[in-house]
Amino acid sequence: MALLRGRKAVIALTVIILILNAAQANAVDELGHISASVIGALNITEVLAIKFGNFAISCTNGVCDAASSIVLSDQGMRTETSAGVDTIILLNGSGGSGVTNGSNQETGSQTPGFYSINAGGEGSGTQHIYVSFADANGNIIDINHPGNHVFLSGPVANAFTVDTFTFESDTGTTGYLQQNQSTADIYGNYVPLVNGMATIRVGGTLHTAAVAVPTPGQYTGTFNIMASY
């Protein structure tokens, strides 16, 4: 306790010295500057929505426990994990071959989402555009915010959640490239643009929720893709 009191005394003394010095200082002023810049519009357009495809689900005693999931890769492959009291059965096949370049898009009941990025007036050369994801209210969805996700509703409200978004990018010259350390820096994962343009395809993970067994039907939700220089 004596050591703590000694530390507090040093802090208090320092404050007093600063106040005394401030009272003795001469008044000065300096010219400040303000700037602003207008850039071209940065646009993201949804070309094709994310589709987790058809599946059946059953839960013990009619109530699910949020333990099962379907991973839809950004290449269009589905992987099912049944756990707890939930059992998921994938229909129409368990996966898909995906695409190897930007000339085609998947079709059918399951597909990653396709989104085009246009840097507008700022897109005369090659740039890095940082991509992130958020729910409809703007809450960031990533590994640092594990409690945030998108809700899917239909015949049963909030029957599923979606998070863990992944993406690949295509600049029109190299085909799709998986995002990895070569396309990430301290600011996040980025898309390398060519002539201000790129296309990304997005996958995610769907989780069951702790609700009654979802009634058959279509379940939908919305999320935000955010892009910045």
pLDDT digit string (tens) for 60-94? 888 888 888 999 888 778 888 888 888 888 887 55
The alpha carbon dihedral of 132, 135, 137, 141 has a sign of: negative
**What value does the mean pLDDT take over residues 147-171?**
88
pLDDT at 66: 84
pTM: predicted TM-score of the whole model, two decimal places: 0.74
**Residue 39 CB partners (closer than 8 Å, separation 6+):** 120, 121, 122, 229
Dihedral over alpha carbons 86, 92, 98, 99 (to 10 degrees): -150
What pLDDT band is residue 152 in, cutting at 50, 70 and 90? very high
Query: HSE-up of 211 (CA within 13 Å, CB side)?
Result: 18
- Worst-scoring range by mean pLDDT, 16-25, 90-99, 147-156, 157-166? 16-25
Rounded to whole angstroms, the Cα distance separating 179 from 198 reads: 14
For residue 175, the model assigns a pLDDT of 53
Coil, strand or helix at 158: coil
pLDDT at 50 over 60: yes
The percent of residues in the chain predicted with pLDDT above 90, rounded, is 17
Coil/strand/helix, residue 95: coil
Pairwise pLDDT comparison (168 vs 220), residue with the higher score: 220
Q: What is the DSSP letter of 26?
A: P
Mean pLDDT highest for which of 30-39, 159-168, 172-181? 159-168
